[in-house]
Amino acid sequence: MEWLLLCGSLPPGVEVGFYRRLIRMAKAHNIIPWSIRKASFLQDILDEGPTVVVPNQAEAEHLLNRSLITRSQFLDAVEHIQRMGAEMAVLSLGNRGAVGFRWQAGV
């Protein structure tokens, strides 16, 4: 099993859709794409259905346009991000740990 980890900022001059194309290519070659991305690009890559995304709390708040304070809100955020296209989502909470689960349609 091979994995492709996409993380960090895009280098100057690289267009926003670059990671999206990488995800598409990885999936075509049976490589599992993981993405740890900034919120400004997260929506773009969610459209490609990455296997795993790991936004931090601030990135998730930016993506969802709402504050996340309680455990229930963290869980709702993870589920919402998965419904936006990720197979799995993990919400990184820094020194407070992380929240995540795998949502499966029809289960």
Domain extents in the chain: 2-102
Residue 107: what pLDDT? 45
Which of 73-83 are b and which e, b meaning 16 or more Cβ less than 10 Å from the residue's Cβ?
bbeebbeebbe
The one-digit pLDDT tens for each residue of the chain (107 residues) are 788 888 777 788 988 788 888 888 998 999 888 776 666 678 878 888 888 888 999 999 999 999 999 999 999 999 999 999 988 899 999 999 999 866 555 54
| CATH node for 2-102 | 3.40.1190.20
Measured CA to CA, the distance from residue 7 to residue 11 in angstroms comes to 11
Chain position carrying tokens 């960090």: 8
> What is the number of residues in the chain?
107
Residue 37: what pLDDT? 62
Question: Which H or E run includes 92?
Answer: strand 88-92
